[in-house]
Amino acid sequence: MFAVRFDRFGPPEVLALGEFPEPHAGRGEVRVRVRAAGVSPVDLALRAGRSPAAERLALPHVPGVDAAGVVDEVGPDVTGTAVGDEVFGAVDVSRLGGASAEFAVLAFWTAKPASMPWEEAGASGTSVETATRALDLLDVREGTTLLIDGAAGGVGSVAVQLAIARGARVIGTGSPANQAFVARLGATPVTYGRGLPERVRGLDEGPVDRALDVAGAGSLPELVALTGTAASVVTLADFSGPRLGVRLSTGEFGGEPGGRHGLAAAAALFAEGRFRLPVQEAFPLAQAARAHAFAAEGPRRGKIVLTVPGG
């Protein structure tokens, strides 16, 4: 099969489109002919060799953890999914990639709504799973006031919508250029950075019950001050959190995946017109190096996606 691959760590230019052995569905898995695949921060860190998990990679390696496509192989013990179904989801976390290719094996997935664009579906898997797990940890429910630091990015923009669907009131931080985007997601926008508690209190939105740090920009002390307790804060990106008593949910490659129920809920919300996966830019698979370079630029406004020809 054709796939994006790298045989050494380095900048985006180490990525190239070439031949790679086809994967096959194992027990509890499905294989899809990929139509779109997301580009996640973990893909960039692994390619650059900056992630501790890079030590576990066997090179050459195919990046990508999120994919959407048409099922063409069903593994043992899979029920409710058949060859020809359109699905979206993510790979087994232990594989650290494999989605930026002609074929990908998914470990958790759900049916793609017919009206959902492939680009949105292909980038949804781990963002939905990560956001769902964080909201569950925070026990976000109807009546909760939640602050999301980093509301405009791939996971943050998903978390905003899923929290609102639960009946929460959301305050979302973003750069000055992203304030209108955060507002369109349904959150009350506020700029990030020093002095955040004062700006949030000036919104007159009442007390903040819970806070989710997606940005990893050093805001944890201020988020604890806003909520009144470290137990009311979860971070996805700041590894100093536990020293402050803040729970760390390590995103795509940590914790127990809760992807199936999160993806199904997101798909249902999409069908109801209550959820969209914001896509900032889509690139053809052959331009994976450009996609990785673009994803590293920031500030982010949604997800970066690769589209696959012939899917």
Query: Strand (E) positions, 6-142?
Result: 16-19, 30-39, 66-74, 86-90, 103-106, 108-111
Give the chain's residues under pLDDT 70. Answer: 250-260, 298-299, 310-311
What's the pLDDT at 205? 82
Question: Which domains are delineated in the chain?
Answer: 2-124+277-307 (3.90.180.10), 129-253 (3.40.50.720)
Please choose, from the candidates 123, 100, 118, 157, the residue with its C-alpha nearest in 3D space to the C-alpha of residue 300. 157
Please state the three-class secondary structure of 239-269 as a single string: CCHHHHCCEECCHHHCCCCCHHHHHHHHHHH
Q: CA–CA separation, 133 vs 143, rounded Å?
A: 19
Angle between helices 154-165 and 259-271 (to 10 degrees): 70
Instruction: Note whether 171 and 188 are within 8 A (CB).
Output: yes
What's the pLDDT at 252? 44
Q: What is the number of helices (H) and of strands (E) in the chain?
A: 9, 15
What's the pLDDT at 109? 96
163: left (phi over 0), alpha (psi -120 to 50) or beta: alpha
113 Cβ neighbours under 8 A, 6+ residues apart: 267, 270, 271
What are the structure tokens assigned to 197, written together? Answer: 């508690």
204 Cβ neighbours under 8 A, 6+ residues apart: none
**Which DSSP category does 116 fall into?**
S
What's the pLDDT at 299? 65
Q: CA–CA separation, 10 vs 6, rounded Å?
A: 9
The single-letter code of the amino acid at 67 is A
The secondary structure of 202-223 as a DSSP string is TTT-----EEEE-S-SS-HHHH
79 Cβ neighbours under 8 A, 6+ residues apart: none
Q: CA–CA separation, 209 vs 211, rounded Å?
A: 7
